[in-house]
């Protein structure tokens, strides 16, 4: 998120490692979809996710799907 965004719906601003964060309004949060994939041992019969060795050190992949343009003048710090 970026400085300069404003509105009464934006609250609980914080900065972590030089990046600004804000508590988004509920109507915006309702549009988000979060997916977590846990990389645990399984067999070929379990339908495993194939990954390149060494690319997932935490054994968990976390994806967040959201609207490209957030409201209130906000913008994503990292977007794909």
Cβ atoms within 10 Å, residue 76:
14
Tens digit of pLDDT for each residue in 25-64? 888 889 989 888 877 777 778 777 677 777 767 677 778 8
Q: Under a CB-based contact definition with an 8 Å cutoff, are residues 1 and 74 in contact?
A: yes
pLDDT at 34: 87
Break the chain into its structural domains and give their ranges: 11-65
pLDDT at 44: 77
pLDDT at 31: 92
């Amino acid at each position: 998120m970026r400085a300069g965004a404003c509105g009464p719906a934006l609250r609980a601003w914080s900065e972590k490692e030089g990046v600004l964060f804000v508590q988004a309004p509920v109507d915006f949060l309702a549009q988000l979809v979060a997916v977590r994939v846990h990389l645990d041992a399984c067999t070929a019969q379990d339908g495993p996710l194939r990954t390149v060795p060494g690319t997932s050190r935490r054994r968990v992949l976390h994806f967040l799907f959201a609207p490209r343009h957030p409201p209130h003048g906000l913008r994503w710090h990292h977007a794909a």
